[in-house]
């Protein structure tokens, strides 16, 4: 008889393993739908404006040095003559601001396409600060005359399609003419630049301070990055979005506030913390600008709960879910002395697997919480009705349905409590093991394999 019991346990394990196939298929479907959603979000970004990155401003000034080289040449007859050749040397300087303060108010809107949506934001921002120009702008003295070109104030914007209105630039209290496009020489190829004309500081003998202010309205998708280029930088962003995700190399200060009415975040940093002055100099010299562009502070405007991520997490508990249900079935079979066919185990397992398919399909229309409640309720009702006839007892069927509903509830709590999921999962497994041991403490396992009495109801 023990051989029959072992065969039964083996068949139940085999059914449980086979049921991993539909779970894997649902997991692949989740990945496919998530990829489709990400593609739609990217397509919305391409048609509107992609995630934005603001870098700068940078003060760019070209220069030209002209000198004459004189060379004395002696011919075969001993006659000498002097040959003069003009030498032209060109270069530029690119300075980061001494101080930079950025303030912005962010408005969110949703862009729908079919079942999917992306969050578009509008930044109404102001950048102001100052440049401290050293005497001679730091260019070494040399022979000849040094001519300075027209200075440009360059602001990098990763996707200029998001600039919805003309950008206003003030330089020392005077409005400057703004042109589209950045400057490749300043390592900011995409953005805008303002023509500042000739600067008097190029001939000054002492450091000169210039102040600037830039006002812009910028449209973006999902995420905003800012490169804090100032020797000292202060950033303040506020929005009514209640679920921001702060990212990048720099996190907000402790005074940042996040609540149901939105958030107000502040950053404060300096070149001592970021080393951006040296990083930018390396970018200009070697054109290795990726470290400069990646040194950002950022805020993302994703959904507070990614339903695909949550469903994917729930599928990780699928094997545990099916295993606990089968264990409960097996305990009912042992304690009630009823024979349950492996095919009945398989049907119950299929119903549990279909729950995850209902979860992903309903979530796209109703949201995760509502979809979970409907899917769990449907499966509990179906299995309770089915198990009632298997166990030949309405009371046991109702008890099984109640236990299954409790299991669904615990799984939901696990999914919502991501930080404590491991602890709660461990406690759940321990509680189920303890319940099984207590329920079977008086079972004579040598007698379990004997045939069940005919006609006996549980």
The domains of the chain are located at: 2-37+307-447, 51-64+88-300
pLDDT at 167: 92
Segments of 96-228 assigned E as strands:
99-113, 116-133, 145-148, 151-157, 168-171, 174-175, 177-180, 191-197, 208-221, 223-227
* CATH no., domain 51-64+88-300: 2.60.40
Question: What stretch of H or E contains 82?
Answer: strand 80-95
Question: Across residues 226-237, what is the average pLDDT?
Answer: 93
pLDDT at 184: 86
pLDDT at 265: 92
Q: What is the mean pLDDT of the chain?
A: 81
pLDDT at 266: 93
Q: Which pLDDT tens digit goes with each residue over 234-271?
A: 999 999 888 888 888 888 888 788 888 889 999 999 88
pLDDT value at 85 more than 80? no
pLDDT value at 123 more than 80? yes
pLDDT value at 192 more than 80? yes
* Nearest CA among 124, 157, 128 for reference residue 238: 124
458 band by pLDDT with thresholds 50, 70 and 90: very low
pLDDT at 404: 83
C-alpha torsion 39→41→46→48, nearest 10? 160
Cα separation, 119 vs 303, whole angstroms: 8
In terms of phi and psi (left: phi > 0; alpha: psi -120 to 50; beta: otherwise), the region of 423 is alpha
The residue length of the chain stands at 458
Q: Which pLDDT tens digit goes with each residue over 101-119?
A: 999 999 988 777 766 777 7
pLDDT at 446: 60
Range in 74-88, 108-122, 163-177, 201-215 with the lowest mean pLDDT: 74-88
pLDDT value at 438 more than 60? yes
408-414-415 Cα angle (round to 5): 90
pLDDT at 457: 43
Question: Across residues 86-95, what is the average pLDDT?
Answer: 80
pLDDT at 168: 94
pLDDT at 5: 65
pLDDT at 455: 46
Question: Across residues 306-320, what is the average pLDDT?
Answer: 76
pTM of the shown model: 0.69
Q: Which residue has the tokens 């449907």?
A: 378
Cα separation, 358 vs 336, whole angstroms: 32
Tokens standing for residue 136:
């001679």
Say what percent of the chain tops pLDDT 70: 84
């Amino acid at each position: 008889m023990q051989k029959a019991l072992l065969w039964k346990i083996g068949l139940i394990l085999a059914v449980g393993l086979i049921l991993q196939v539909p779970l894997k298929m649902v997991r692949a479907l989740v990945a496919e739908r998530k990829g489709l959603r990400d593609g739609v979000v990217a397509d919305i970004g391409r048609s509107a404006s992609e995630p934005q990155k603001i870098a700068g401003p940078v003060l760019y000034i070209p220069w030209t040095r002209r000198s004459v080289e004189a060379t004395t040449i002696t011919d075969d007859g001993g006659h000498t003559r002097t040959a003069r050749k003009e030498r032209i040397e060109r270069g530029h300087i690119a300075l980061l601001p001494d101080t930079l303060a950025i303030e912005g108010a962010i408005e969110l809107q949703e862009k729908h396409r079919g079942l999917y949506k992306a969050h578009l934001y509008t930044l109404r921002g102001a950048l102001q600060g100052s440049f401290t120009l050293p005497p001679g702008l730091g260019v070494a003295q040399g022979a000849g005359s040094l001519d300075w070109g027209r200075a440009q104030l360059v602001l990098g914007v990763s996707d200029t399609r998001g600039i919805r209105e003309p950008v206003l630039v003030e330089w020392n209290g005077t409005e400057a003419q703004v042109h589209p496009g950045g400057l490749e020489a300043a390592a900011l190829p995409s953005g805008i630049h303002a023509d500042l004309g000739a600067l008097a500081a190029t001939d000054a003998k002492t450091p000169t301070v210039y102040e600037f202010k830039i006002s812009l309205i910028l449209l973006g998708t999902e995420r905003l990055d800012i490169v804090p280029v100032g020797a000292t930088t202060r950033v303040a962003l506020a929005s009514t979005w209640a679920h921001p995700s702060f990212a990048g190399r720099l996190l907000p200060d402790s005074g940042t506030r996040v609540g149901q009415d939105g958030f107000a975040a502040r950053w404060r940093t300096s070149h001592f913390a970021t080393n951006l002055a040296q990083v930018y100099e390396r970018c200009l010299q070697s054109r290795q600008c990726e470290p400069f562009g990646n040194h950002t502070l950022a805020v993302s405007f994703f959904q507070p709960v990614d339903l695909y991520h949550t469903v994917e997490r729930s599928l990780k508990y699928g094997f545990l879910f099916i295993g606990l249900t089968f264990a409960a079935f097996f305990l009912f079979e042992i304690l009630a002395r009823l024979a349950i066919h492996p095919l009945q185990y398989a049907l119950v397992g299929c119903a549990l697997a279909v729950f995850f398919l209902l979860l992903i399909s309903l979530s796209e229309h109703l949201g995760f919480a509502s979809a979970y409640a409907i899917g769990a309720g449907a499966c509990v009702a179906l299995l309770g009705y089915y198990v009632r006839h298997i166990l030949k007892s309405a009371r046991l069927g109702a008890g099984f349905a109640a236990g299954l509903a409790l299991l669904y509830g615990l799984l939901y709590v696990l999914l919502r409590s991501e930080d404590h999921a491991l602890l709660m999962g461990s406690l759940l497994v321990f509680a189920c093991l303890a319940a099984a041991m207590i329920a079977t403490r008086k079972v004579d396992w040598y007698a379990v394999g004997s045939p069940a009495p005919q006609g006996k109801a549980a």
